[in-house]
Amino acid sequence: MLKNRLPANVALAAERIGAHIRKTPLDYSRCFSDAIGANVWLKLENLQHTGSFKARGAFNKLLVMTDDERKAGCVAASSGNHGAAIAWAMAELGVKGMVFVPEQTSSAKVNAIRDAGGDVRFFGTDGLDTEIHARDYARRNDMVYVSPYNDPDVIAGQGTCAVEIAEQLPDVDALFVAVGGGGLIGGAGAFLKSVKPEVSVVACQPEASPVMTRSVEAGRIVELPSDTTLSDGTAGGIEAGAITFDLCRDVTDDFVLVSESAIAAAMRSFIDSHHMLLEGAAGVVLAGLLARSGRYKDKNIVAIICGGNISRDTLRTVI
């Protein structure tokens, strides 16, 4: 069972990718601590290479591939962050490939992929459509498809964030994570619970695209339309049969859905108090944290600031 093997795989991934990624800071937040009556630390993955946690999974996947697989090249599908991370990792490791993105992907994230050396191609209006197309393209061209979440090596890489959290704050009581496909919460939640079983793992999603939440409620992956959301990095459907569904269901103790106004307000609070940028998905985490105010009085909480890639136009609507 993947869940049982995952903590060991995450630990191995941390050793494997250590030379290629940044160990990001875990900063105490007086602003959010005061707001919810707990001790809140922010895991600043917005300071990771390419501006998000996705670099972790990208490097782990490419590093476990065979020489022949690297020569064949990679195909990725992404709303932006995974694509930029794969492009960065491919450039660092000398692997060729391309990244398919949905047509509405933010210009900031498209530019980030291109700046990292990626070959960007557009397809579809929903992340799930893009993933299906990219997987089929890889199959037809004998290339390796690198899923943004539905891959055990990618999940293990994303989970290395929790290896650092466990070292930086051993007495963590709760972990708040933004959820789209479920790779980050699956890997990080499984590892953290392996070293501290009593830790509470909280999944945060926008009301505009609550696919994983509704899927767990239904006991199966469901198809739902997604409305426009500031959290474009978590929006869209989940691939049929995704291994992250069982992981997310098993490691998550609570699901919280937040409105667009709550996301924007949380983003403003972070920008004002921490003087750095964050993207909508990270705003979802902070909005989810604020929505659970009072439940974790005096406890030690970690919220993963999963990315900082936001376009100027989107930023204007927030501030």
Q: Which domains does the chain have, with CATH numbers?
A: 2-53+152-318 (3.40.50.1100), 54-146 (3.40.50.1100)
Judge whether 239 and 211 are in contact, CB under 8 Å.
Answer: no
**What ranges in the chain are assigned the alpha helix state H?**
2-17, 30-36, 54-64, 67-72, 81-93, 107-115, 127-140, 152-168, 183-195, 211-218, 244-251, 260-274, 280-291, 312-318
Q: What is the token pair recorded at 47?
A: 């300071």
Per DSSP, 50 falls in state G
With H, G, I as helix, E, B as strand and everything else as coil, classify residue 84: helix
Q: What number of CA atoms fall less than 13 Å from residue 88's CA on the CB side?
A: 26
Q: Structure pTM? A: 0.94
With H, G, I as helix, E, B as strand and everything else as coil, classify residue 197: coil
Q: Is the pLDDT of residue 214 over 90?
A: yes
The mean pLDDT value for 229-258 works out to 93
How sure is the predictor about 89, in pLDDT bands with cuts at 50, 70 and 90?
A: very high
pLDDT tens for each residue of 31-87: 999 999 999 999 999 999 999 999 999 999 999 999 999 999 999 988 788 999 999
- Please, what is the Cα angle at 310 between 185 and 202, to 5 degrees? 20
What's residue 1's pLDDT? 63
Render the burial of 288-315: b for 16+ CB within 10 Å, e for the rest: bbbbbeebbeebbbbbbbbbbbbbeebe
